[in-house]
Amino acid sequence: MLKLAIQKSGRLKDDSIALLKECGIKIDNRRNQLKVRANNFPLEVLFLRNSDIPGFIENGNVDIGVTGENLLYEKSPDVLEVLKLGFASCRLSIAVPNLMDYASVNDLAGKNIATSYPNSLKKYLSSAGVSAQISEISGSVEIAPGMGLADAVCDLVSSGNTLFTNGLKEVELILKSQAVLISSTELNPDNKEILEQLTFRINSVLNAKNKNYILLNCPNEKIEEISNLLPGMRSPSVLPLQQTGWSSLHSVIEETQFWESINQLRNAGAEGILIIPIKKMIL
Ligand code: AMP
Protein backbone atom coordinates (compact mmCIF):
# COMPACT_ATOMS: atom_id res chain seq x y z
CA MET A 1 0.00 0.00 0.00
CA LEU A 2 1.47 3.34 -1.11
CA LYS A 3 0.84 6.37 1.13
CA LEU A 4 0.20 9.61 -0.77
CA ALA A 5 0.11 13.00 0.95
CA ILE A 6 -1.95 15.78 -0.58
CA GLN A 7 -2.84 19.21 0.69
CA LYS A 8 -5.63 19.29 3.27
CA SER A 9 -6.93 22.67 2.17
CA GLY A 10 -5.57 25.27 -0.20
CA ARG A 11 -4.59 25.76 -3.80
CA LEU A 12 -3.19 22.30 -4.49
CA LYS A 13 -6.03 20.26 -3.01
CA ASP A 14 -8.75 20.29 -5.67
CA ASP A 15 -6.40 19.75 -8.61
CA SER A 16 -4.68 16.87 -6.79
CA ILE A 17 -8.01 15.13 -6.18
CA ALA A 18 -9.14 15.84 -9.75
CA LEU A 19 -5.92 14.29 -11.08
CA LEU A 20 -6.49 11.09 -9.07
CA LYS A 21 -10.01 10.95 -10.45
CA GLU A 22 -8.77 11.38 -14.02
CA CYS A 23 -6.38 8.50 -13.31
CA GLY A 24 -9.42 6.34 -12.48
CA ILE A 25 -8.58 6.24 -8.76
CA LYS A 26 -11.65 6.52 -6.58
CA ILE A 27 -11.42 8.10 -3.15
CA ASP A 28 -14.52 8.81 -1.15
CA ASN A 29 -13.82 11.70 1.21
CA ARG A 30 -17.34 12.95 1.79
CA ARG A 31 -16.78 12.87 5.55
CA ASN A 32 -13.65 15.03 5.29
CA GLN A 33 -11.41 12.42 6.91
CA LEU A 34 -7.66 13.02 7.12
CA LYS A 35 -6.87 9.53 5.84
CA VAL A 36 -8.78 7.71 3.09
CA ARG A 37 -8.12 4.45 1.23
CA ALA A 38 -8.71 4.37 -2.50
CA ASN A 39 -11.44 1.89 -3.46
CA ASN A 40 -9.75 0.49 -6.53
CA PHE A 41 -5.99 1.15 -6.26
CA PRO A 42 -3.43 0.24 -3.54
CA LEU A 43 -3.22 3.83 -2.33
CA GLU A 44 -3.89 5.52 0.99
CA VAL A 45 -4.40 9.28 0.75
CA LEU A 46 -3.40 11.48 3.70
CA PHE A 47 -4.58 15.08 3.85
CA LEU A 48 -1.80 17.22 5.34
CA ARG A 49 -0.55 20.79 5.48
CA ASN A 50 1.35 21.66 2.30
CA SER A 51 4.39 22.88 4.22
CA ASP A 52 4.62 19.59 6.21
CA ILE A 53 4.52 17.30 3.18
CA PRO A 54 8.21 17.42 2.06
CA GLY A 55 9.40 16.76 5.65
CA PHE A 56 7.06 13.80 6.17
CA ILE A 57 8.29 12.25 2.94
CA GLU A 58 11.93 12.89 3.80
CA ASN A 59 11.39 11.12 7.14
CA GLY A 60 9.59 8.18 5.51
CA ASN A 61 6.25 8.79 7.32
CA VAL A 62 4.60 9.09 3.92
CA ASP A 63 5.82 7.54 0.63
CA ILE A 64 4.86 10.13 -1.98
CA GLY A 65 3.18 13.54 -2.08
CA VAL A 66 2.01 16.46 -4.15
CA THR A 67 3.62 19.80 -3.33
CA GLY A 68 4.85 22.98 -5.02
CA GLU A 69 8.35 23.16 -6.53
CA ASN A 70 8.77 26.40 -4.60
CA LEU A 71 8.61 24.46 -1.33
CA LEU A 72 11.36 22.08 -2.48
CA TYR A 73 13.55 25.06 -3.34
CA GLU A 74 12.81 26.62 0.05
CA LYS A 75 13.29 23.56 2.23
CA SER A 76 15.74 21.45 0.14
CA PRO A 77 14.36 18.17 1.55
CA ASP A 78 16.05 14.89 0.66
CA VAL A 79 13.26 13.59 -1.59
CA LEU A 80 12.98 12.61 -5.25
CA GLU A 81 11.06 14.71 -7.74
CA VAL A 82 9.07 12.17 -9.77
CA LEU A 83 6.90 14.22 -12.12
CA LYS A 84 5.83 17.79 -12.84
CA LEU A 85 2.04 17.89 -12.68
CA GLY A 86 1.20 20.96 -14.76
CA PHE A 87 -1.05 22.78 -12.25
CA ALA A 88 -0.58 25.43 -9.52
CA SER A 89 1.76 27.37 -11.78
CA CYS A 90 3.19 30.42 -10.08
CA ARG A 91 6.46 32.26 -9.65
CA LEU A 92 8.40 33.43 -6.63
CA SER A 93 9.17 37.08 -7.22
CA ILE A 94 10.36 40.21 -5.49
CA ALA A 95 7.99 43.19 -5.71
CA VAL A 96 8.41 46.79 -4.62
CA PRO A 97 5.96 49.71 -4.25
CA ASN A 98 4.94 51.23 -7.62
CA LEU A 99 6.41 54.58 -6.61
CA MET A 100 9.86 53.24 -5.80
CA ASP A 101 12.57 54.02 -8.38
CA TYR A 102 13.90 50.61 -9.26
CA ALA A 103 16.66 49.95 -11.78
CA SER A 104 18.29 46.73 -10.62
CA VAL A 105 18.55 44.25 -7.75
CA ASN A 106 21.23 46.51 -6.23
CA ASP A 107 18.40 48.89 -5.28
CA LEU A 108 17.36 46.33 -2.66
CA ALA A 109 20.62 46.78 -0.73
CA GLY A 110 19.90 47.71 2.90
CA LYS A 111 16.14 47.36 2.39
CA ASN A 112 13.78 45.30 4.54
CA ILE A 113 12.06 42.53 2.54
CA ALA A 114 9.06 40.64 3.94
CA THR A 115 8.59 37.02 2.87
CA SER A 116 7.33 33.56 3.82
CA TYR A 117 10.24 32.10 1.83
CA PRO A 118 13.38 33.35 3.64
CA ASN A 119 15.78 30.67 2.38
CA SER A 120 14.85 31.18 -1.27
CA LEU A 121 15.22 34.93 -0.88
CA LYS A 122 18.53 34.54 0.96
CA LYS A 123 19.92 32.36 -1.86
CA TYR A 124 18.79 34.87 -4.50
CA LEU A 125 20.22 37.91 -2.73
CA SER A 126 23.52 36.25 -1.95
CA SER A 127 23.96 35.07 -5.57
CA ALA A 128 23.30 38.69 -6.63
CA GLY A 129 25.77 39.95 -4.00
CA VAL A 130 23.13 42.12 -2.33
CA SER A 131 22.79 42.46 1.42
CA ALA A 132 19.27 43.19 2.72
CA GLN A 133 17.23 42.53 5.82
CA ILE A 134 14.74 39.65 5.61
CA SER A 135 11.57 39.70 7.74
CA GLU A 136 9.83 36.35 7.82
CA ILE A 137 6.04 36.55 8.00
CA SER A 138 3.71 33.62 7.42
CA GLY A 139 0.98 35.18 5.28
CA SER A 140 -0.56 38.32 3.74
CA VAL A 141 2.94 39.38 2.79
CA GLU A 142 1.76 41.84 0.14
CA ILE A 143 0.29 44.26 2.66
CA ALA A 144 3.57 44.61 4.59
CA PRO A 145 4.90 47.65 2.63
CA GLY A 146 1.51 49.44 2.90
CA MET A 147 1.59 48.90 6.69
CA GLY A 148 5.13 50.27 6.92
CA LEU A 149 6.49 46.85 7.93
CA ALA A 150 8.78 46.37 4.93
CA ASP A 151 10.21 48.14 1.86
CA ALA A 152 9.62 45.21 -0.48
CA VAL A 153 8.15 41.71 -0.57
CA CYS A 154 9.17 38.33 -1.91
CA ASP A 155 6.12 36.18 -2.56
CA LEU A 156 4.34 33.76 -4.88
CA VAL A 157 2.59 35.41 -7.80
CA SER A 158 0.27 33.88 -10.36
CA SER A 159 -1.94 36.50 -12.07
CA GLY A 160 -0.24 39.46 -10.39
CA ASN A 161 -3.63 40.73 -9.19
CA THR A 162 -2.76 40.74 -5.49
CA LEU A 163 0.41 42.74 -6.18
CA PHE A 164 -1.56 45.17 -8.32
CA THR A 165 -4.26 45.76 -5.72
CA ASN A 166 -1.59 46.41 -3.10
CA GLY A 167 0.25 48.98 -5.25
CA LEU A 168 3.27 46.76 -5.89
CA LYS A 169 5.27 46.00 -9.04
CA GLU A 170 7.14 42.79 -9.74
CA VAL A 171 10.85 43.49 -10.24
CA GLU A 172 12.81 40.23 -9.83
CA LEU A 173 11.85 36.66 -10.72
CA ILE A 174 13.43 34.14 -8.37
CA LEU A 175 11.91 30.93 -9.68
CA LYS A 176 9.01 29.45 -11.60
CA SER A 177 7.03 26.78 -9.84
CA GLN A 178 4.29 24.22 -10.45
CA ALA A 179 2.89 21.27 -8.54
CA VAL A 180 5.16 18.21 -8.49
CA LEU A 181 4.86 14.61 -7.37
CA ILE A 182 7.68 13.80 -4.96
CA SER A 183 8.73 10.50 -3.46
CA SER A 184 10.73 9.15 -0.56
CA THR A 185 14.23 7.98 -1.54
CA GLU A 186 13.56 4.66 0.18
CA LEU A 187 10.47 3.01 -1.25
CA ASN A 188 10.18 -0.75 -0.86
CA PRO A 189 9.95 -2.79 -4.11
CA ASP A 190 6.14 -3.23 -3.82
CA ASN A 191 5.60 0.50 -3.41
CA LYS A 192 8.02 1.27 -6.25
CA GLU A 193 5.88 -0.91 -8.47
CA ILE A 194 2.68 0.87 -7.36
CA LEU A 195 4.34 4.25 -7.96
CA GLU A 196 5.26 3.14 -11.50
CA GLN A 197 1.62 2.24 -12.17
CA LEU A 198 0.51 5.59 -10.79
CA THR A 199 3.02 7.64 -12.83
CA PHE A 200 2.02 5.71 -15.97
CA ARG A 201 -1.59 6.79 -15.38
CA ILE A 202 -0.65 10.38 -14.56
CA ASN A 203 1.51 10.62 -17.71
CA SER A 204 -1.39 9.36 -19.83
CA VAL A 205 -3.61 12.09 -18.37
CA LEU A 206 -0.97 14.83 -18.71
CA ASN A 207 -0.06 13.85 -22.29
CA ALA A 208 -3.69 14.33 -23.28
CA LYS A 209 -3.99 17.79 -21.69
CA ASN A 210 -4.59 20.54 -24.26
CA LYS A 211 -4.59 17.93 -27.03
CA ASN A 212 -7.57 17.43 -29.33
CA TYR A 213 -8.61 14.84 -31.82
CA ILE A 214 -9.26 16.54 -35.15
CA LEU A 215 -11.42 15.15 -37.96
CA LEU A 216 -11.91 16.91 -41.27
CA ASN A 217 -13.00 16.18 -44.82
CA CYS A 218 -11.02 17.19 -47.90
CA PRO A 219 -10.75 16.44 -51.62
CA ASN A 220 -8.25 13.62 -52.26
CA GLU A 221 -5.83 15.87 -54.13
CA LYS A 222 -5.46 18.00 -50.98
CA ILE A 223 -4.59 15.10 -48.62
CA GLU A 224 -0.83 15.67 -48.77
CA GLU A 225 -0.99 19.42 -48.29
CA ILE A 226 -3.36 19.10 -45.33
CA SER A 227 -1.42 16.18 -43.82
CA ASN A 228 1.64 18.41 -43.71
CA LEU A 229 -0.33 20.84 -41.53
CA LEU A 230 -1.35 18.01 -39.16
CA PRO A 231 1.76 16.07 -38.10
CA GLY A 232 -0.16 14.36 -35.23
CA MET A 233 1.40 11.47 -33.29
CA ARG A 234 2.89 9.76 -36.36
CA SER A 235 0.85 10.81 -39.39
CA PRO A 236 -2.87 11.38 -39.95
CA SER A 237 -5.26 8.48 -40.65
CA VAL A 238 -6.93 8.81 -44.03
CA LEU A 239 -10.32 7.18 -44.56
CA PRO A 240 -12.28 7.27 -47.82
CA LEU A 241 -15.67 8.99 -47.75
CA GLN A 242 -18.74 7.50 -49.45
CA GLN A 243 -18.55 10.42 -51.91
CA THR A 244 -15.95 9.64 -54.60
CA GLY A 245 -12.84 11.82 -54.60
CA TRP A 246 -13.15 12.82 -50.91
CA SER A 247 -11.47 11.58 -47.73
CA SER A 248 -11.66 12.10 -43.99
CA LEU A 249 -8.38 12.93 -42.17
CA HIS A 250 -7.98 12.16 -38.44
CA SER A 251 -5.13 13.42 -36.30
CA VAL A 252 -4.10 14.92 -32.95
CA ILE A 253 -3.56 18.63 -32.56
CA GLU A 254 -2.69 20.95 -29.68
CA GLU A 255 -5.25 23.60 -28.79
CA THR A 256 -2.93 26.51 -29.67
CA GLN A 257 -1.64 24.81 -32.82
CA PHE A 258 -5.24 24.38 -33.98
CA TRP A 259 -6.02 28.10 -33.76
CA GLU A 260 -2.73 28.90 -35.51
CA SER A 261 -3.44 26.52 -38.42
CA ILE A 262 -7.22 26.91 -38.85
CA ASN A 263 -6.96 29.43 -41.71
CA GLN A 264 -4.31 27.39 -43.52
CA LEU A 265 -6.49 24.26 -43.14
CA ARG A 266 -9.53 26.00 -44.59
CA ASN A 267 -7.54 27.63 -47.40
CA ALA A 268 -6.14 24.20 -48.25
CA GLY A 269 -9.70 22.90 -48.71
CA ALA A 270 -10.54 21.32 -45.34
CA GLU A 271 -14.28 21.17 -44.56
CA GLY A 272 -16.47 19.84 -41.77
CA ILE A 273 -13.71 20.23 -39.19
CA LEU A 274 -14.49 18.56 -35.83
CA ILE A 275 -12.37 19.02 -32.70
CA ILE A 276 -12.86 16.53 -29.86
CA PRO A 277 -11.00 16.62 -26.50
CA ILE A 278 -8.77 13.64 -25.70
CA LYS A 279 -9.04 12.18 -22.18
CA LYS A 280 -5.97 9.91 -22.09
CA MET A 281 -2.96 9.52 -24.37
CA ILE A 282 -0.46 6.65 -24.21
CA LEU A 283 2.64 7.47 -26.23
P1 AMP B 1 -1.50 27.63 -0.40
O2 AMP B 1 -2.75 26.94 -0.81
O3 AMP B 1 -1.60 29.12 -0.42
O4 AMP B 1 -0.89 27.01 0.84
O5 AMP B 1 -0.43 27.35 -1.58
C6 AMP B 1 -0.02 26.06 -1.87
C7 AMP B 1 0.89 26.04 -3.06
O8 AMP B 1 0.18 26.48 -4.21
C9 AMP B 1 2.10 26.95 -2.99
O10 AMP B 1 3.16 26.38 -2.29
C11 AMP B 1 2.44 27.13 -4.45
O12 AMP B 1 3.20 26.03 -4.90
C13 AMP B 1 1.09 27.03 -5.14
N14 AMP B 1 0.59 28.34 -5.67
C15 AMP B 1 0.15 28.53 -6.93
N16 AMP B 1 -0.24 29.80 -7.14
C17 AMP B 1 -0.04 30.48 -6.04
C18 AMP B 1 -0.24 31.84 -5.66
N19 AMP B 1 -0.71 32.74 -6.48
N20 AMP B 1 0.04 32.17 -4.41
C21 AMP B 1 0.51 31.24 -3.58
N22 AMP B 1 0.74 29.95 -3.89
C23 AMP B 1 0.48 29.55 -5.10
- Helix H or strand E segment including 229: helix 223-229
What separation in Å is there between the alpha carbon of 88 and the centre of ligand 1? 7
pLDDT along the chain (283 residues), means of 10: 96 96 92 90 96 96 97 97 97 97 97 98 98 96 94 97 96 98 97 98 94 96 94 88 97 89 94 95 90
Going along the chain from its start, the domains and CATH numbers come out as: 2-87+178-207 (3.40.190.10), 90-177 (3.40.190.10), 210-277 (3.30.70.120)
158 Cβ closer than 6 Å to some ligand 1 atom: yes
Residue 95's DSSP bridge partners are 153, 170
Euclidean distance between CA atoms 88 and 238, whole angstroms? 39
The ligand 1 atom nearest the CA atom of 9: 2
- Going from the Cα of 62 to the center of ligand 1, the distance in angstroms, rounded, reads 21
**Residue 77 Rama label (left phi>0; alpha psi -120 to 50; beta):** beta
pLDDT computed for residue 124 by the predictor: 98
Give distance in angstroms: CA of 4 to centre of ligand 1: 19
Phi, psi of 115 (to 5 degrees): -160, 160
